[in-house]
Amino acid sequence: MSESSKDTVHAAADMYDRPLRSLRLSVTDRCNLRCRYCMPEADYVWLPREDILSFEEMATLTGYFADLGVDKVRLTGGEPLLRRDLSRLVRLLLHDRRIIEMGLTTNGILLADQAQELYDAGLHRVTVSLDTLRPERFRRLTGRDEFSRVIGGIESVGKVGFANLKLDTVAIRGFNDDELIALIEFAKHYQAEVRFIEYMDVWGANEWAMDKVLSRAMILDQLSQQYGSITPLPERGAAPAQRFLLPGGTIFGIIPSTTTPFCAQCDRSRVTADGMWYLCLYATSGTDLRNPLRTGASPEQMREMIQSSWAARRDRGAEERKVLELVGLRDSGLIGIDRLREDPHLEMHARGG
Ligand code: SAM
Ligand code: SF4
Ligand code: SF4
C-alpha cells in the first residue's frame, strides 16, 4: 500500500459536484495499429522516452488519486499491451485495496500472449476494440493485417477465465453500419457485450465529419428492424454506456458521446504515459504531475495539487462541441495537424480514449 494511503480519504468534488472516481491511465502513446479515426497520419511525434513514467511512479500517483476518491482504474494507451510486463503494473496497482475495479482497453493483437498473466495478476475486466468482422475492412481501417490475431485475443479472454468481456465498436456511417447485427451475434457467441461508440471529433480524428456519425437513434432504429422492440435498461451512475435488452435476452450498449454527451455525470480523468493529467477528453491543457513527483514533492503537496485542480474543474467538452454543432461550427472546431505535432498530448492515442 502506498505511503499516502495511510491518510484519510477526502473525496474530491468539482464545480458541478462531480466526484473524482475513475482514472484512465495511459501506459504508452505507441500503437501497433493506425486506426483511421484515431491515428490517421503516417507520422507522429512520440512522447520522449525519458519522460515515460515507470510502473512504480504510476502506482505512487494512483495512490494519491485513491486518497482523493479514485477507486476505478483503466489501463489504456496507445496500445497498452505494447508496454512490457504490464501484468506487473496490474499487481502493483492492486496492492492498493481501494482500487476495486481495474480494467484494460486493448486492440487485442497481443492479448492471446498476455491474457493468462493479466488474469493471474488480478485484472478484473477486459475491453477489446473491434470495429469490423471483415479482415479486408480491418486492414483498410487500421493499415495492418492483424485481424486474425485480434480474434485470437478475444478467444483467449474467456479461456483464461475472464467474465464480462466487452467489445467496443466505433460505429461509422458508410463504413461499418452494415455490421451491427453481425457484431451483436459475434459478441453473443463469446458471451461478450458489444458497445457501439458514436464516432467522436477528438483532436486527432482529422477525418471526422458529422455525416459519418452513426447516431444512437440510427443504431436503435436499425437494430429494432432486425430484432423487434428494444428495452432500455436502468442507467448505472456515471457509466458512459446506455444498455439495452433485445427480445432474445441479449444485452448491448451504446456510448452516445457525440449526440447525447454525458458530461453532467462525468467522474473520469486521464493521466498520459508521461504524467500529464487531463480533466477532460477534450481539454487542451493539463497538469504536469511528473515533474513534481520526480523533484520530491511531498504526498501532501501532490494531493493538494490534484484536489485543487479537480475542485476548479468545469470541463464539459463534449457538450461544448454539441453547442458548436448547433451553430454550424462543429467541423471547423478540429485542431489542425500542425498544432497536434506541437503538442502530442492532444492526440487520442496519448490520452487513451
Ligand atoms: N489501443 C487501445 C484500443 O484501441 O482499444 C486503447 C486505446 S484507444 C485510444 C481507446 C478507445 O478509443 C478505442 O476503443 C477506440 O476505438 C476509441 N477511439 C479512438 N478514436 C475514437 C474516435 N474518434 N471516436 C470514438 N472512439 C474512438
Ligand atoms: Fe486504434 Fe487504439 Fe491504436 Fe488508436 S490507440 S490507433 S484506437 S488501436
Ligand atoms: Fe467527461 Fe469531458 Fe467526456 Fe464530457 S467530454 S464526458 S466532461 S471527459
Torsion sign (Cα): 128, 130, 134, 135:
negative
- Looking at residue 53, what is its pLDDT? 98
| Whole-number percent of the chain with pLDDT over 70 | 92
**Which of the pair, 5 or 60, is modelled with greater confidence?**
60
What's the mean pLDDT in 179-201?
97
What is this structure's pTM? 0.94
Q: By mean pLDDT, which of 15-29, 87-101, 196-210 is the weakest?
A: 196-210
Nearest Cα residue to atom 20 of ligand 1 = 38
Name the band, by pLDDT with cuts 50, 70 and 90, for residue 237. confident
DSSP bridge partners of 248: none
Minimum-distance ligand 2 atom for the alpha carbon of 38: 4
Any residues with Cβ below 6 Å from ligand 2, and which? 31, 33-35, 38-39, 77-79, 107, 129, 349
Distance 94 CA to ligand 2 centre (A): 26
**Which of the pair, 41 or 14, is modelled with greater confidence?**
14
Q: How far is CA 181 from the centre of its chain?
A: 24
User: Count of CB atoms within 10 A of residue 140's CB?
Assistant: 12
Is the CB of 146 within 6 Å of ligand 1?
no
Of 74, 129, 349, 351, the one to substitute when testing ligand 2's pocket (max ligand atoms within 8 A of C-beta) is 349
- Looking at residue 349, what is its pLDDT? 72
Any residues with Cβ below 6 Å from ligand 3, and which? 261-263, 266, 268, 280-282, 315-318
Of 34, 345, 348, 349, the one to substitute when testing ligand 1's pocket (max ligand atoms within 8 A of C-beta) is 348
Distance 290 CA to ligand 3 centre (A): 23
| pLDDT 10s digits, 222-235 | 999 999 999 999 98
Name the band, by pLDDT with cuts 50, 70 and 90, for residue 257. very high
- Looking at residue 335, what is its pLDDT? 62
- Looking at residue 327, what is its pLDDT? 76
- Looking at residue 4, what is its pLDDT? 46
Distance 296 CA to ligand 3 centre (A): 31
| pLDDT 10s digits, 136-150 | 999 999 999 999 999
What's the mean pLDDT in 197-207?
83
**Would you say residue 5 has pLDDT above 80?**
no
What's the mean pLDDT in 85-90?
98
**Would you say residue 1 has pLDDT above 50?**
no
Is the CB of 347 within 6 Å of ligand 1?
no
Q: How far apart, in Å, are the Cα atoms of 98 and each of 21, 63, 87, 88, 228?
A: 11, 9, 18, 18, 42
What's the mean pLDDT in 321-346?
72
What's the mean pLDDT in 237-248?
92
SS3 string of 241-292?
CEEEECCCCCEEEEECCCCCCCHHHCCEEEECCCCEEECCCCCCCCEECHHH
- Looking at residue 334, what is its pLDDT? 62
Distance 147 CA to ligand 3 centre (A): 31
* Ligand lying nearest the CA atom of residue 240: 3
Q: What is the bridge-based pairing of β-strands 72-76 and 276-278?
A: unpaired
- Looking at residue 11, what is its pLDDT? 82
User: Count of CB atoms within 10 A of residue 277's CB?
Assistant: 22
Distance 169 CA to ligand 1 centre (A): 9
Mean pLDDT of the chain: 92
- Looking at residue 299, what is its pLDDT? 98
**Would you say residue 25 has pLDDT above 70?**
yes
**Contact status, residue 215 vs residue 258, Cβ threshold 8 Å:** yes
| pLDDT 10s digits, 274-318 | 999 999 999 989 999 999 999 999 999 999 999 999 999 999 999
**Which of the pair, 331 or 325, is modelled with greater confidence?**
325
Nearest Cα residue to atom 5 of ligand 2 = 78
Name, in order, each residue with C-beta under 8 angstroms of 26's C-beta and a sequence gap of 6 or more. 76, 77, 78, 80, 270, 271, 272, 273, 350, 351, 352
Nearest Cα residue to atom 2 of ligand 3 = 280
**Would you say residue 337 has pLDDT above 80?**
no
